[in-house]
Amino acid sequence: MPTAGRSDKLRIGVLASGRGSNLQAVIDAIEAGSLQAQIALVLSNKKDAFALERARRHGLTEVFLDPKPYTGQPDSREAYDRAILDLLKKHEVELVVLAGYMKIVTAVLIKAYENRMMNIHPSLLPSFPGLDVQKKALDWGVKLAGCTVHFVTEGVDEGPIIIQAAVPVLEGDTAEMLSARILEQEHLIYPRAIQLYAEGKLKVDGRRVVVAGTGTKGTEALISPA
Ligand code: GAR
């Protein structure tokens, strides 16, 4: 039974470390009505993350949680994640959305939010996990790059894939040019993945995410070079 005055929309908690353009895409989708969710909390491990400023501009609850007091402890990363978990619980977060959160998440959070924590990564996983992935894609000579939204598991960038977008690599691309085109797609697929979750359409079956209602739509191949 929802509490009086409290919206029953999916409550999401966004963890971000940087400029927060994916957070902005989620905010915009909510404000445009294409994403039925509410942002209960924006949390950053970086005091000057522009993501926090974006949250303030939209009147959202935002928190900078300083990792420093937790360093030096034998289980410092877990202790930090326990503090995050307390905040997520306090704000009744149902789905955790990692949006450029550049800190390894430990089992403390992953177990508490099993199949309820998403990440976006700027490559077509399982190709190019980790960092500097657009440069790695160019160095490898792939013709299609892209981005992936996946559930978070303990293996970094390894969780079950929810949605991907492919982006052609063009002649003369730099890592910055390719990143910019991938980012445009990130901003489309992240809100979409969250909306699918909000609608209860995602079912994790081992490594696979079964997406209800997708049928055989979108069978056209993207060929690169065209
Ligand atoms: C995005 O490109 C996101 O895919 C990437 O960081 C960027 C954050 O941008 N995440 C990762 O590489 C995680 N492995 P944003 O702060 O503007 O959303």
Q: Closest Cα to residue 208, out of 163, 157, 166, 165?
A: 163
Query: Within this chain, do residues 13 and 99 fall inside the same structural domain, yes or no?
Result: yes
pLDDT band at 3 (very low <50, low <70, confident <90, very high): very low
- Flag whether 40 is in a domain: yes
More confident residue, 217 or 145: 145
In tens, the pLDDT along 42-101 reads 999 999 999 999 999 999 999 999 999 999 888 999 999 999 999 999 999 999 999 999
* Beta strands 37-44 and 10-16, pairing class: parallel
- Flag whether 139 is in a domain: yes
| Distance (Å) of CA 196 to CA 7, 61, 159, 211, 221 | 19, 24, 17, 8, 23
Query: Within this chain, do residues 83 and 141 fall inside the same structural domain, yes or no?
Result: no
- Flag whether 225 is in a domain: no
> How far, in Å, CA of 73 to CA of 47, rounded?
21
More confident residue, 178 or 216: 178
Least trusted range by pLDDT, from 23-27, 88-92, 124-128, 212-216: 212-216
Q: Give the residue ranges of DSSP H helices in the chain.
A: 21-32, 50-57, 76-90, 107-112, 133-140, 175-198
Q: Percent of the chain having pLDDT more than 70?
A: 97
Count of residues making up the chain? 226
- Flag whether 106 is in a domain: yes
Residue type, 37: A
- Flag whether 226 is in a domain: no
Query: Within this chain, do residues 38 and 136 fall inside the same structural domain, yes or no?
Result: no
The CATH number that applies at residue 96 is: 3.40.50.170
Q: What's the CA-to-centroid distance between 12 and ligand 1, angstroms?
A: 18
Average pLDDT over residues 103-114: 97
- Flag whether 221 is in a domain: no
Residue finishing a domain among 113, 138, 169: 113
Is the shortest distance between the CB of 22 and ligand 1 below 6 Å?
Answer: yes
Query: Within this chain, do residues 108 and 133 fall inside the same structural domain, yes or no?
Result: no
Average pLDDT taken over every residue of the chain: 95
Query: Within this chain, do residues 20 and 108 fall inside the same structural domain, yes or no?
Result: yes
Is the shortest distance between the CB of 19 and ligand 1 below 6 Å?
Answer: yes
Structural domain count, the chain: 2
Query: Within this chain, do residues 99 and 164 fall inside the same structural domain, yes or no?
Result: no
Query: Within this chain, do residues 38 and 77 fall inside the same structural domain, yes or no?
Result: yes
Ligand 1 atom closest to Cα of 18? 16
What pLDDT score was predicted for residue 1?
44
Domain of 195, in residue numbers: 121-147+160-213
Q: Decide if 121 is catalytic.
A: yes
What pLDDT score was predicted for residue 201?
98
Torsion angles phi and psi, residue 29, rounded to 5: -65, -40
Token pair of 107 as six digits: 């089992």
- Flag whether 155 is in a domain: no
Query: Within this chain, do residues 25 and 51 fall inside the same structural domain, yes or no?
Result: yes
Query: Within this chain, do residues 17 and 99 fall inside the same structural domain, yes or no?
Result: yes
- Flag whether 68 is in a domain: yes
Query: Within this chain, do residues 130 and 91 fall inside the same structural domain, yes or no?
Result: no
Average pLDDT over residues 138-143: 98
**Is pLDDT of 209 > 70?**
yes
Q: What's the CA-to-centroid distance between 6 and ligand 1, angstroms?
A: 31
Query: Within this chain, do residues 33 and 106 fall inside the same structural domain, yes or no?
Result: yes
Query: Within this chain, do residues 108 and 58 fall inside the same structural domain, yes or no?
Result: yes
In tens, the pLDDT along 15-33 reads 999 999 999 999 999 999 9
